[in-house]
Structure 1
Amino acid sequence: MTKPASSHQTLDQAGEFAESVPHEKLARSRAAQAVLWVLLIAAVLFAPAVLYPVFVMQLLCFALFACAFNLLIGFTGLLSFGHAAFFGGAAYICGHVVKVWGLPPLLGILGGGVFAAALGYVVGSLAIRRQGIYFAMITLALAQIVYFLALQLPFTGGENGLQGIPRGTLFGLDLNSPLPMYYFVAAIFLAGFLIIYRTIHSPFGQVLQAIRENEPRARSLGYNVDRFKLIAFVLSASLAGVAGSTKAIVFQFASLTDAHWQMSGEVILMTLIGGMGTIFGPVVGSVVIITLQHYLADIGSWVQVVIGAIFIVSVLLFRRGIVGELARMLKISSV
């Protein structure tokens, strides 16, 4: 007859089990992240062998845009309706710097990112004074000002947009050739994605998530919440600007569509469908939306109806997004 375990042994075993569960979940999450990183890098490197390079470059630009937006809404809890201002505004600045000033495309993209960061500082400084829908509406109003300026300023080309942006050369490579241009864009995307990944997993990123979960408690712990929000907003805006600048170089064109409020709606849609608050979700969401827009272009405006129906289904059946639901079913976090 076995001797019953003492209460101390039972408590010790329960404690060990309670500690083992998070460790097991953390181990699964790290393994899943490693697998997803390998798949992402492999897909980026070998996509031109299967798909049209310009199409994949468009995917990468919007994937970076969605990831930058997700850093703000998914990990800080701030909903911006005006992120198109950074995406489109940086595209115009990059195009002007490269076309008129004659600077290399890399400097043009960096210039667009710096402009977006500066604009993000101005917009963020005003918007973070409010919360919720008021924050969102302030960002939308300021973004509409940027759209009006893009329409009226002489160097933007007005309704015709800024056309004929040269791709130029980089380290002796002619970026007018598809493959050199593709791997240039791929390097920018991977660098931007890595910055976002490291930010999320840094102490700074943990504070942002604490603010998202319980802002009053974060304040009570002594954190300067407004400063953290502003830094997150500026970082998100700058990476969105890099994405918009890269898109302008790829298509050699910056248009009002890039700065329109509908672009802000599309990036929200990409993030929600892929999985808000996940690392790889915005990439999946952007692939879904851009692929649908590309392959259903023949049906005209009906493509918006199809995307809207997919969004409704996703909200009803996949409330965490595609990646979020997969992570839930596999009991994995932080993907």
Structure 2
Amino acid sequence: MRGTEKALVALGVLALVVAPFFFYPVFVMSMLCFALFAAAFNLLLGYTGLLSFGHAAFFGGAAYFTAHSVKVWGVPPELGLLIGMAGAALLGLIMGLLAIRRQGIYFAMVTLALSQMFFFFCLQAPFTHGEDGIQGVPRGHLLGFIDLYVPLNMYYFVLAVFLIGVFAIWRIVNSPFGMILRSIRENEPRAISLGYGVGRYKLAAFVMSAALAGLAGGLKSLVFQFATLTDVTWQMSGEVILMTLLGGIGTMVGPIVGAGLVIALQNSLATSQFPVTVVTGAIFMICVLVFRRGIVGEVIAFAKRYGSR
């Protein structure tokens, strides 16, 4: 990482540290949860080249697992998050084993079908409470003594988890494993000819992406203190795709920017008469027509062109 990039990362982290003193903490926490979700999805789409229409299953599934374990089993919040991640990873392993044998649109359709099956499971399962969802989820005490009902304590806990999750994604992407994922994305037949077990790498990336998406979902259930069917619908999968494409696939910062933009629009237009979906759809069309690489992708491409002169 170059000096300029390190400085920008430090400024970004500093901005997030002081954000709750200028913005409503729950709003910023919501942005961080969805930013982590989008970054986890980008690990699969942007760096492996696999388009999944079923990531809501991992996000919402982990929200249910975390909420149930914290509320019913009485586990501490940090253990609840780990349970949510483990559940999402297991779900990702099962779905991945079934979907990874297909490619392109067939892979996307299989993930969508499996995600819808999980949605109906959540609708009928007793522990999810159907359409009512799991409500009144306690935030508890982090490490047994940090009260997460205090807004600032909860915010910095969410920020810490977000930074750990993003760092894990950055580490994966910049490891030899990540280089192989990029080679699979760019030219899968050549990766096969070099002797790599492409199927195993794809499955590993799928499970990692599912686990990190689950971390975001579990965190969201603690922030809002509920888990509902909204988190496992196909629309949630569509939202994370939109966030990633708006920001720029294949970039570390792009999905975070895209998530922030979408959540900010939803929050600002929530009390207006203008439909949020129309605005986000219009912005998406503009980005497709003008910013084909996404907002951050175009900025990076412009910086490279300017720097090469």
Shared topology, TM-score over 0.5?
A: yes
The letter of the residue matching 1:328 is: A
Separation in 2 of the partners of 1:85 and 1:188?
20
Q: 1:214 aligns with which of 187, 199, 202?
A: 187
5 Å-filtered alignment, 1:134-283, equals 134-171=106-143, 172-283=145-256
The letter of the residue matching 1:46 is: V
Separation in 1 of the partners of 2:242 and 2:96?
22
* Larger deviation, residues 296-305 vs 263-272: 296-305
Q: Over residues 160-198 of structure 1, what are the superposed CA-to-partner deviations in whole Å (9 max), with x where a residue is unaligned? A: 111010000013111001000000000100000000001
CA displacement at 1:300 relative to structure 2 = 4.9
Separation in 2 of the partners of 1:191 and 1:36?
17
Whether 1:285 and 2:255 are equivalent positions in the alignment is no
Q: 2:16 aligns with which of 34, 39, 44?
A: 44
Separation in 1 of the partners of 2:58 and 2:273?
27
Whether 1:69 and 2:41 are equivalent positions in the alignment is yes
Q: What stretches of structure 2 of length at least 5 have no aligned partner? A: none
The letter of the residue matching 1:47 is: A
Q: Over residues 267-310 of structure 1, what are the superposed CA-to-partner deviations in whole Å (9 max), with x where a residue is unaligned? A: 00000000000111001000000000000112356110010000
5 Å-filtered alignment, 1:81-92, equals 81-92=53-64
CA displacement at 1:32 relative to structure 2 = 4.0
Separation in 2 of the partners of 1:128 and 1:35?
39
The letter of the residue matching 2:239 is: E
Whether 1:58 and 2:58 are equivalent positions in the alignment is no
Q: Which runs of 4+ in 1 moved over 2 A?
A: 29-33
Q: What stretches of structure 1 of length at least 5 have no aligned partner? A: 1-28
Alignment TM-score, normalising by the size of structure 2: 0.97
**Superposed CA RMSD:** 1.2
Instruction: Give the secondary structure class of the aligned counterpart of 2:138.
Output: coil
Separation in 2 of the partners of 1:112 and 1:78?
23
Separation in 2 of the partners of 1:300 and 1:196?
38
C-alpha change, 1:115 and 1:301, in structure 2 (3 Å) is farther
Instruction: Give the secondary structure class of the aligned counterpart of 1:98.
Output: helix
CA displacement at 1:122 relative to structure 2 = 0.5
Instruction: Give the secondary structure class of the aligned counterpart of 1:129.
Output: coil
Q: Over residues 139-159 of structure 1, what are the superposed CA-to-partner deviations in whole Å (9 max), with x where a residue is unaligned? A: 000000111011111111111
Separation in 2 of the partners of 1:32 and 1:221?
36
CA displacement at 1:33 relative to structure 2 = 2.5
Separation in 2 of the partners of 1:145 and 1:220?
36
Q: 1:80 aligns with which of 46, 52, 65?
A: 52
Give aligned pairs, total.
Answer: 305
Identity %: 62
* Larger deviation, residues 262-271 vs 153-162: 153-162
Separation in 1 of the partners of 2:240 and 2:197?
29
Q: Over residues 107-144 of structure 1, what are the superposed CA-to-partner deviations in whole Å (9 max), with x where a residue is unaligned? A: 00110000000000010111110000000000000000
The letter of the residue matching 1:68 is: A
The letter of the residue matching 1:273 is: L
